[in-house]
Chains A and B, each alone.
Chain A
């Protein structure tokens, strides 16, 4: 798991976007969801994006991560100076090589065991079966699911499923981790486990973690909090993560 460790890059810029504009067509009119957003994120940081529902947080993440092309603006991510100028296949490849995603839903295949979920993605990274099994096991152990690697989603709790999803995202050693409301479907205890895992990925491996949430209690884990409202950035505050944040369940 050393190949992609970017701990040494901590503090360097991992992602930067300028002037992002995204409009959606609704009926005969367009609504502008992103109204010229500038954004950047650094290795080793948990960058928290907060804002009310409908403010454009998810759309921003989609534009930053190569999932949804913005109408205007420019995204530079890692070695890709202009992500959206790449052909589709190259963008897929970029995500495969560098991006991990954690969604509000867990999106696990019902038929696969926890270990198989993780291995499936590794297979497409051309990791051999033996190595994939080893890395999947390690990733699942790192999220505390060592004893449950052969369980299928139907046998796992919500929090465990989200941890499988995290293991699936982390096993490929991504430099960029995008999490969209990763805790909002979970109880406080499970949510805490999840945010701590994301915190650890940033601290220990130097990944740039971009976490969308509207839960103010997660702020305690962030290096930086960006508030967004109505498609515009309101403020951008750097802070020091708390060493012993209050439990989420309180």
Chain B
């Protein structure tokens, strides 16, 4: 084992501050990106798992929801008229106030808690929710690919809705509970996984349920169109042909195009870019400052030993290499610590309904970033080696 590694392992307490600083620098960047990508994934989950080969949106729209994505109803026959199109169905959606219903026992417990002045879950919840619809027909174009027939069956029941598991706690309900949506009683019939949305929880219901709630589109405009075609492999070609036909009145996207546009839009967002850049800069600054000072102190603590190596003829260049190797290992340990810390935070976040997602490229970049911070700090602390004067050992 090399001197640098042995020193780091044996005197690990001395290097703790540097490792912790690096871990937090890494966490600062990783947790943010992980969260943004996680949110982005939530946004594109519907697109990724849609059965539609092509999605038709209003001109200028990029997202399925939350934007002027709809188009005039008369576009439906226009899309249908393409010979390869077999199904066209508009997405529909709504939104409103959601309240959970407490059983008398739950009510009593919540009140007792409130009396004791405690906070916490279990009480009465009111949340604003999104609503999207599917057609409760197995294999239909609006049904996500990961919905089982049982789930569709459950949603076919009137006033039955699906909620993602990440939203259960926030809404204060569990599977089978009754709740109130815009003043009407609904049932949590299905719990989905993998559709997180930290901005607003989403209810999925059948088109008929939405109609019975009186919130379905009946006017001249409809939501984006989900289109399935005879040969999914020809999606790009058909989308191009549809776009020609559209003449600017709508835009047809393949599923992949739309997913890319959505996740890209997330990270292109100026604010997010600035936040990330700023965090990385802050992480760099704090990481370098603390790691530098830690390394300086650690080297000074061993300066006499370094001086004795100088006396025995080990060159200054070799001592510098020892310091650089030491800082490299500090960086590696920092990467491991950052990974551990980020993992813990992501567990917490997932439990809190904010699943994080870490693309491998991102992890690699942050790892390199931390090692660079450590080595930069090592480089800055090379100066203290000039104190390793072997003549000072002779007194």
**Residues of A in contact with B (beta carbons under 8 Å apart):** 58-59, 61-62, 65, 67-68, 89, 92-97, 99-101, 103-105, 107-112, 116, 120-121, 124, 152, 165, 168-169, 172, 180
Known: A59-B394, A61-B394. A108 touches B305 (CB 8 A): yes
Q: Among A92, A121, A180, point to the contact of B394 (Cβ < 8 A).
A: A180
Bound CA–CA A111/B322 (angstroms): 14
In the complex, chain A residues whose CB is within 8 Å of the CB of B312: 95-96, 99-101, 121, 168-169, 172
Which residue of the partner chain, among B7, B11, B304, B315, contacts A107 with CB atoms under 8 Å?
B304
- The complex places the Cα of A133 from the Cα of B13 at a distance, in Å, of 29
Q: What separation, in Å, do the CA atoms of A213 and B391 have in the docked complex?
A: 17
Closest 10 CB pairs of A and B: A96-B313, A111-B10, A95-B313, A107-B308, A58-B394, A68-B391, A111-B7, A111-B6, A101-B311, A67-B391
B115 within 8 A of A: no
Residues of A within 8 A of B308 (CB): 101, 103, 107, 165
Q: B390 and A67: CB pair below 8 A?
A: yes
- Give the chain A neighbours of B310 by CB distance below 8 A: 92
Q: What CA separation (Å) do A152 and B9 show in the bound complex?
A: 13
29 contacts between A and B (CB under 8 A): A58-B394, A62-B391, A67-B311, A68-B391, A89-B315, A92-B315, A92-B316, A93-B313, A95-B312, A97-B313, A99-B313, A100-B312, A103-B308, A103-B311, A104-B395, A107-B304, A107-B307, A109-B6, A109-B7, A109-B302, A111-B7, A111-B11, A116-B1, A116-B6, A120-B3, A121-B309, A124-B318, A152-B10, A165-B308
Please give, as numbers and ranges, the residues of chain B lying within 8 Å of A93 by CB-CB distance: 313, 315
**Cα distance, A100 to B1, chains bound together (Å):** 24
Decide if B86 is an interface residue (CB 8 Å cutoff).
no
In the assembled complex, the Cα of A144 lies from the Cα of B9 at a distance in Å of 28
* CB-defined contacts of A97 to chain B, threshold 8 Å: 313
Closest to A212 in B: B394
One of A59, A89, A95, A110 near B11 (C-beta < 8 A): A110
Judging by beta carbons under 8 Å apart, are B394 and A67 in contact? yes
| Distance, CA A245 to CA B331, complexed state (A) | 55
Most buried by A among B11, B305, B312: B312
Least CB separation from B303: chain A residue: A107
Q: Tell me if B384 is interfacial: C-beta within 8 Å of chain A.
A: no
Interface size class on chain B is 20 to 34
Bound-complex Cα distance A92 to B311 (A) = 8
User: Are A103 and B393 interface neighbours, CB within 8 A?
Assistant: yes
Query: CA separation between A143 and B6, bound complex, in Å?
Result: 24
With both beta carbons as reference points, the residue of chain A lying nearest to B318 in the complex is identified as A124
Beyond the given pairs A111-B6, A168-B312, A180-B393, 7 more chain A to chain B contacts, judged by CB atoms under 8 angstroms and listed by A's residue number, are: A89-B315, A93-B313, A96-B313, A101-B393, A104-B395, A105-B393, A121-B314
Given contacts A96-B314, A121-B309, contact A111 B393 (CB under 8 A): no
Contact, CB under 8 Å: A112 / B311: no
Residues of B within 8 A of A65 (CB): 311
Please tell me if the beta carbons of A111 and B9 are within 8 angstroms of each other in the complex. Answer: yes
The contact string, 1 if C-beta is below 8 Å from chain A, for chain B 1-19, is: 1010011011100000000
What are the residues of chain B within 8 A of A105 when measuring CB–CB? 304, 393
Give the nearest-CB partner of B393 in chain A. Answer: A103
Dominant secondary structure of chain B at its interface with chain A: helix
- Cα A232 to Cα B4 with chains together (Å): 43
* Nearest CB in chain B: distance from A9 CB, A: 21
B193 CB, nearest partner CB in chain A, Å: 49
Q: Smallest Cβ distance from A89 to chain B, in angstroms?
A: 7
Q: Which residue of B lies closest to A61 (CB)?
A: B394
Bitwise, B109-122 to A at CB < 8 A (1) or not (0) is 00000000000000
Q: How far is the CA of A59 from the CA of B392 in the complex (A)?
A: 10
Point out the residues of chain A lying under 8 angstroms from B305, CB to CB: 107-109
**CB within 8 A of B311: which of A95, A104, A109, A124?**
A95
| Per-residue contact bits, chain B 141-156, to A (CB 8 Å; 1 contact, 0 not) | 0000000000000000
Mask for B290-326, Cβ within 8 A of A = 1, else 0? 0000000000001011011111111110100000000
Q: Is the CB of B393 within 8 A of A124?
A: no
- Closest chain A CB from B310 CB (angstroms): 8
Within the assembled complex, what's the spacing in Å between the Cα atoms of A172 and B312? Answer: 9
Smallest Cβ distance from B321 to chain A, in angstroms? Answer: 10
CA distance A85 to B329 in the complex (A): 39
Which residues of A have CB within 8 Å of B1? Answer: 116
How far, in Å, is B9 (CB) from chain A's closest CB?
Answer: 7
Residues of B within 8 A of A109 (CB): 3, 6-7, 302, 305
Q: Name the distance in Å between B301's Cβ and chain A's nearest Cβ.
A: 9
- A94 B3 Cβ-Cβ under 8 A: no
Cβ of B367 to closest chain A Cβ, rounded Å:
26
Within 8 A of A (CB), among B1-53: 1, 3, 6-7, 9-11
Set of chain B residues within 8 Å of A116, measured between Cβ atoms: 1, 3, 6
Residue of B nearest to A100 (CB): B312
Expressed in whole angstroms, the Cα–Cα distance for A245 and B254 within the complex equals 98
Question: How close is B322's CB to chain A, nearest CB, in angstroms?
Answer: 9
CB distance from B4 to the nearest CB of A (A): 9
List which B72-93 residues lie within 8 A (CB) of chain A: none
A32 to B142 Cα, complex, angstroms: 96
Residues of chain B with a CB closer than 8 A to A121's CB: 309, 312, 314
User: Who on chain A is nearest to B10 by CB?
Assistant: A111
CA distance A175 to B310 in the complex (A): 18
